Amino acid sequence: MGDASEAVRPMFKPLPPEVERARVIAAGVLLVTTIIAAFLIVTRPKPPEALRTDRLTEFAGNVGECRRALAQAGFEAPRAEDVSEGARCGYRNAVTLSASPIGFSEAPTTNCALAAALVLWQRDVVAPAAERHLGQAVARIEMGGPAYACRPVAGRRDGRMSEHARANAIDISGFTLADGRVLAVRGGWRGAAGERRFLRAVRDGACERFRTVLSPDYNRAHADHLHLDMGGYALCR
């Protein structure tokens, strides 16, 4: 046995100074690299959302991309069976909007670009306008009949077919609110101040997403609904 007064020897031999310096430098580099990586992850810009207003024209010519954008945004729009009614009516590659930010009184079957515009309108216009002007959410949007209907434009003597004849239009007759009350376009257009402001806000917001938007301000034929379509006429009334 050794002398108890002998100094205790260290269990591990100290590293040479140059090795210790290398370890410190390596640890510092690792720390800096970790900080930079975390910063890049936090500040890296997110890719643009697929479902956007500026893509509606693109969606009109690319149904596959339109459906992918709807699915990516979380909205179901299964492809509808093609319909043909003579030379003037019918549709191909339409979708049924079975899930959207606000439900409809019935799931509309429309072309995909119109379905995408409806989702954007509900999410970005109708929902915030309801909270702002009515103080509550919209629970359901009431349709003024099926989106597809083989008929001419109401009141036209030349027989020009409506955009409804191509599943390219939808009529909105009112909005069921969270408290169960139904705000009809006919009664609300000249109703209480909040109702008037809400209906005009959703009309004006629709004009930025649809090609043609017709309201009670247009004519008597539209006194009870908002007509929204993606046809060739740019009109907001």
How far, CA to CA in Å, does 111 sit from each of 117, 136, 154?
10, 30, 21
Q: How many domains does the chain have?
A: 1
Task: Tell me if 5 is assigned to some domain.
Answer: no
In a domain, 170, yes or no: yes
pLDDT of 154 = 80
Q: pLDDT value at position 187? A: 98
Q: What is the pLDDT of residue 93?
A: 94
Paired strand residues for 109? 96
Asked if residue 82 belongs to a domain, the reply is yes
Q: Is residue 72 part of a domain?
A: yes
Tens-place pLDDT, residues 4-32: 445 555 555 666 777 667 676 766 666 66
Range of the domain at 79: 53-236
pLDDT at position 128: 99
The CA dihedral of 69, 229, 137, 123, to the nearest 10 degrees, is: 20
In this structure, is residue 28 part of a structural domain?
A: no
In a domain, 99, yes or no: yes
pTM exceeding 0.85: no
Phi and psi dihedrals of 172, rounded to 5? -110, 115
Q: What is the pLDDT of residue 116?
A: 98
Taking the chain (237 residues) in consecutive chunks of 10 residues, what is each chunk's mean pLDDT? Answer: 52 64 67 61 63 95 95 94 95 95 97 98 98 98 97 82 97 99 98 99 98 97 97 94
